[in-house]
Amino acid sequence: MKLSDLLAGIVTWIGRIAAWLAVPLMLIIVVDITMRKLVEFYPDLVDTFMFREIGSTKLQEMEWHLHAVLFLLCLGYAYIKNAHVRVEVVRERIRPRLRAWFELFGAIVFVVPYCYVVVTYGFDFAERAFMLNERSSALTGLPMRWIIKGMLPVGFVILGIAALSVALRNFIYLFGPPELRQEAGTFVEHSDIEELVHEAEEELEEYERQHGRQPTRQSQGS
């Protein structure tokens, strides 16, 4: 149980940090747009450092770099947080024990091997880029493609860790000592718990909204 929590903790920690990449992504887009418009009016800007050394192509490549890192590093985080979509038509009608079996099976038979494939071959892929010292094929873009290519296996290592954590948790739920079962069951019995947490959050927000400052929704005033 401790191990499962530790693994989940690592994955969550990485995911929560990577999530912030959305902010530089947003800013880079806006900077690129602004510079591009400015240069229309002040063509001499092309001689500045910003244009000579950074340039639109580099910024635009940086956009997909950031985006790729963002979603790769969060794949595992999303699994831990149970954010991946499920079709629960059947699931909600079956007992938690069977759910735990399905989850254990899926994590071990589907997720871990897929991670293995992507990590092994993805590593070769990044290694080739490193050996070639691959740069952007646009030539005016970014150098060192191995970094971004290397993020692919890294992301899937994290997803694999997340899957192990989930598998372990469900294993304990199925076979572990009774005192740990309840805790381990949070994942299969998640739907109720997540709902509760969600509701609590909403209530808190509502409270803040109404008491923290003046009510903002006039339509509900009466």
Partner 1 sequence: QTVNWNMQSTYPGSLTQLGTLGKRIEEQLREVSGGEINVVFQEPGAIVPALEVFDAVASGAVEAGWSTPGYWAGKVPSLPLFGAVPFGPRAGEYMAWYYFGGGKEMFEEIYNRFGIHSVICGVIAPEASGWFRQPIELVEDLRGLKMRFFGLGAKVMEKMGVSTQLLAGGDIFPALELGTIDATEFSMPAIDLNLGFYQVAKHYYLPGWHQQSTMFDLMFNKALWDGLTDTQRAQIEAVCGDSVRHGIAEGEYLQFAALAELEEKGVTIHSWSPEILEALEAAWVEVVQEESANDEDFARVWESLSTFRENYKRWGELGYLQ
Partner 2 sequence: MIEALPLLMFAALALFIFTGFPVAFVLAGVGLLFGFIGWTLDVFTFARFTLIPLRIYGGTMENLVLVAIPMFIFMGTMLEKSGVAEDLLNTLQVLTRRLPGGLALSVTLMGTILAATTGIIGASVVLMTLMALPVMMQRNYHVPLAAGTIAASGTLGILIPPSIMLVIMADLLSIPVGTLFIGAVLPGLMLASFYMVYILGIAAVRPDIAPPLPADVGPESPAELAIMVLRTFLPPIALIVLVLGSIFGGLATPTEAAGVGALGATLLAWFNGRLTFRTFRDVVERSALTGAMLFGIFVGATCFSFVFKMLQGDTVIVQIVQGSGVGAWGVLIALMAVVFILGFFFDWFEITLIVLPVFAPIIQLLDFGEHIPLSTLVVPWFAILMAVNLQTSFLTPPFGFALFYMKGVAPAGVRIQQIYQGIIPFVILQVIGLGLIMAFPEIALYLPQLLL
Q: Which residues bind partner 1 (CB under 8 A)?
A: 36, 39-40, 42-47, 51, 55-57, 60-61, 124-125, 128-129, 132, 134-141, 145
Applying the rule CB under 8 A, the residues between 132 and 191 that interact with partner 2 are: 148-149, 152-153, 191
Applying the rule CB under 8 A, the residues between 80 and 139 that interact with partner 2 are: 81, 83-92, 94, 99, 102-103, 105-106, 109-111, 113-114, 117-118, 121-122, 124-125
Picked from partner 2, partner 1, none, the partner binding residue 152 (CB below 5 to 8 A depending on kind) is partner 2
Closest CB to partner 2 among residues 86, 97:
86
CB of 76 to partner 2, least distance (A): 8
Q: Provide the residue type at 143 as one letter.
A: P
Closest CB to partner 1 among residues 48, 210:
48
State how far the Cα of 171 lies from the Cα of 107, in Å rounded to an integer: 11
Picked from partner 1, partner 2, none, the partner binding residue 19 (CB below 5 to 8 A depending on kind) is partner 2
- Provide the b/e sequence for 36-57 (b: ≥16 CB within 10 Å): eeebeeeeeeeeeeeeeebbee
Contacts (Cβ under 8 Å, ≥6 apart) of 164? 7, 107, 112
Contacts (Cβ under 8 Å, ≥6 apart) of 61? 136, 138, 141, 142
State how far the Cα of 217 lies from the Cα of 214, in Å rounded to an integer: 9
CB of 68 to partner 1, least distance (A): 14
